């Protein structure tokens, strides 16, 4: 996501690139880890970095 | 010292202490009573002596004496009454010859206390100081009857003590002997148990007493040992069978290959077949080794803190690499806090448990598909492994921890029936639980709960 700043990264791509796995994207796995990430880099700061594209993926701004 | 003798001695000691205490109490009360009685007699004797000496009634009244009622002649052994002036001169003596001497200190005590009872050897004295006449009246005698009665009582008490002690000893020994006879019989029966009749039950008594409980617990212990031996025998039998099958197959394949000339392609196929069987053998020996290691595992020394989700990913990666065609989904049952995913345990063993369940799904599921669901809240972690396929029978579910017990569910599929028992052992040494439940008609759900 950092390498592709501004570009939406699909959930499936995140799964493959991060864990080298291809889960059924119907699970909440990506949401859980994005939530962990937000707790670390978004919540403590005023400026938010991670944005969601509903039913598709995430991007950094 | 035998238990019988110890019980008998202990009981006798208690009885002896009780007897001694009661004898001392009886003797002391009787002795006090005799002394009190004789003291009264001596006082009366002293008053009679004073009265006979011609003393006036006022002195007697001062002593609280009603002359008409109390002055009755008393027989006393070796009695002697003295009336002595304040300067220690004998005024009157009956009999006339004085047979004892009184110290100045005693005279002072009589004078101070007005009435004083004292004793020297067997002889007892009662002294009264008459204030008006300034003289001492002293009556003395030996309480021969009282002392004889006291000596008799002493003799009786000592005799009774020893007789009762011997009687109690005999009764106690007989009682303890008959009470402990079933225990002796049990001991004799246990002594007769050898390796030839190891499984023979004792079955001595039918009551509900302690002996019956020991007997029944002993029989239960023997039953448990028998079950453990049977399990071990079955384990060896199944393990041998599982080792023999691939070896026989490998031998037959090799023999067939040696008996005829094969093409390069056929040799390749033969070697591939041999490799499959070798892999099965490696798999089996690894599982057997893992099972045997649990017995001597010093578990506390190999604990680490790690993230359970990462371990699941590792197991999934391993499963995907080693079980071709398997589809594994992973998801969270709830939205956990990151630190809820931390667990204290052994990574290698837990990963082995997860891989066994992944392999289980690969071997027995209809569509080679497995869903793993993780639930983590506070310190509770649950991992569900859900797949479709034949469901386990009740007997397999109840014996899941016993190696090879799931063989009856294996059917035609290639498996050895050790996976679930390995998972059960790994989870139990992590103080967790491993359970199985059926969902609808063909969905299996294995749950590992850790905390």
pLDDT tens sequence for chain B (451 residues) = 777 788 888 889 999 999 999 999 999 999 999 999 999 999 988 888 888 776 566 666 666 665 555 556 678 888 888 899 888 888 888 887 767 788 889 989 999 998 999 998 889 999 999 888 888 999 999 999 999 999 999 999 999 999 999 999 889 888 888 888 877 887 888 888 777 777 777 665 667 777 778 888 888 888 888 887 877 777 777 677 777 877 888 898 888 888 888 888 888 988 988 888 888 788 778 777 776 666 555 555 567 889 999 999 988 988 888 888 888 888 898 888 888 999 988 887 788 889 889 988 888 887 888 999 999 998 899 999 998 887 777 766 766 666 655 555 544 445 546 678 778 878 887 888 998 888 888 888 999 999 8
Calculate how close chain B gets to A43, using CA atoms only, in Å: 14
- Asked if B308 is an interface residue toward chain A (Cβ–Cβ < 8 A), one would say no
Tell me what ipTM this predicted complex has: 0.85
The CB density around residue B424, as the number of other CB atoms within 10 Å, is 22
Mutation for B interface: A15, A26, A29, A40, most B CBs within 10 A: A29
pTM score, whole prediction: 0.52
Residues of B in contact with A28 (CB under 8 A): 331-332, 335
CB B242 within 8 A of CB B284: yes
Secondary structure (3-state) at B258: helix
The span from the CA of B75 to the CA of B122, in Å, is 17
User: With an 8 Å Cβ cutoff, are A32 and B335 in contact?
Assistant: yes
User: With an 8 Å Cβ cutoff, are B330 and A29 in contact?
Assistant: yes
- Asked if B75 is an interface residue toward chain A (Cβ–Cβ < 8 A), one would say no
Q: What distances in angstroms separate CA B155 from CA B36, B151, B158, B168, B328, one per listed residue?
A: 22, 6, 5, 20, 99
The span from the CA of B224 to the CA of B214, in Å, is 15
Calculate how close chain A gets to B369, using CA atoms only, in Å: 11
- Asked if B329 is an interface residue toward chain A (Cβ–Cβ < 8 A), one would say yes
């Amino acid at each position: 996501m950092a390498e592709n700043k501004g570009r939406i990264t699909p959930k499936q791509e995140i799964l493959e690139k991060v864990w080298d796995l291809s889960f059924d994207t119907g699970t909440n796995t990506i949401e859980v880890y994005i939530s962990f990430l937000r707790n670390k880099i978004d919540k403590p700061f005023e400026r938010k970095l991670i944005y969601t594209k509903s039913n598709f993926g995430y991007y950094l701004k | 010292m035998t238990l019988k003798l110890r019980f008998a001695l202990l009981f006798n000691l208690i009885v002896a202490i009780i007897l001694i205490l009661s004898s001392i109490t009886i003797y002391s009360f009787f002795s006090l009573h005799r002394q009190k009685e004789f003291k009264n007699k001596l006082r009366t004797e002293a008053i009679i002596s004073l009265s006979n000496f011609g003393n006036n009634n006022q002195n007697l009244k001062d002593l609280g004496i009603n002359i008409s009622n109390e002055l009755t002649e008393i027989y006393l052994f070796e009695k002697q009454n003295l009336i002595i002036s304040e300067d220690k001169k004998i005024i009157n003596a009956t009999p006339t010859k004085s047979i004892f001497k009184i110290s100045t200190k005693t005279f002072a005590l009589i004078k101070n206390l007005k009435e004083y009872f004292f004793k020297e050897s067997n002889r007892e004295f009662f002294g009264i100081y008459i204030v008006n006449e300034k003289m001492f009246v002293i009556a003395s005698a030996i309480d021969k009857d009282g002392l004889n009665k006291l000596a008799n009582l002493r003799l009786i008490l000592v005799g009774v003590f020893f007789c009762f002690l011997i009687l109690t000893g005999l009764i106690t020994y007989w009682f303890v002997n008959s009470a402990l006879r079933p225990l002796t019989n049990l001991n004799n029966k246990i002594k007769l148990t050898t390796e030839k009749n190891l499984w023979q039950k004792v079955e001595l008594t039918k009551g509900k007493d302690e002996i019956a409980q020991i007997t029944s617990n002993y029989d239960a212990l023997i039953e448990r040992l028998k079950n453990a031996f049977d399990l071990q025998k079955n384990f060896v039998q199944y393990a041998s069978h599982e080792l023999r099958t691939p070896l026989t197959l490998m031998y037959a394949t090799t023999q067939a290959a040696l008996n005829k000339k094969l093409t390069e392609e056929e040799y390749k196929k033969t070697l591939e077949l041999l490799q499959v069987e070798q892999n099965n053998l490696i798999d089996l020996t690894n599982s057997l080794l893992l099972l045997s290691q649990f017995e001597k595992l010093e578990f506390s020394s190999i604990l680490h803190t790690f993230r359970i989700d990462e371990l699941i990913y590792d197991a999934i990666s391993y499963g995907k690499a080693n079980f071709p065609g398997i589809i594994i989904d992973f998801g969270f049952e709830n939205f956990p806090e990151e630190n809820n995913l931390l667990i204290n345990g052994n990574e290698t063993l837990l990963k082995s448990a997860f891989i066994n369940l992944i392999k289980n799904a690969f071997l027995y599921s209809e569509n080679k598909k497995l869903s793993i669901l993780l639930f983590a809240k506070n310190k509770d972690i649950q991992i569900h492994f859900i797949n479709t396929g034949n469901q386990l029978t009740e007997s397999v579910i109840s014996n899941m921890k016993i190696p090879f017990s799931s063989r009856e569910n294996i059917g035609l599929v290639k498996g050895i029936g050790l996976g679930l028992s390995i998972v059960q052992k790994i989870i139990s040494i992590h103080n967790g639980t491993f359970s199985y439940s059926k969902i609808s008609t063909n969905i299996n759900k294995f749950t590992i709960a850790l905390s």
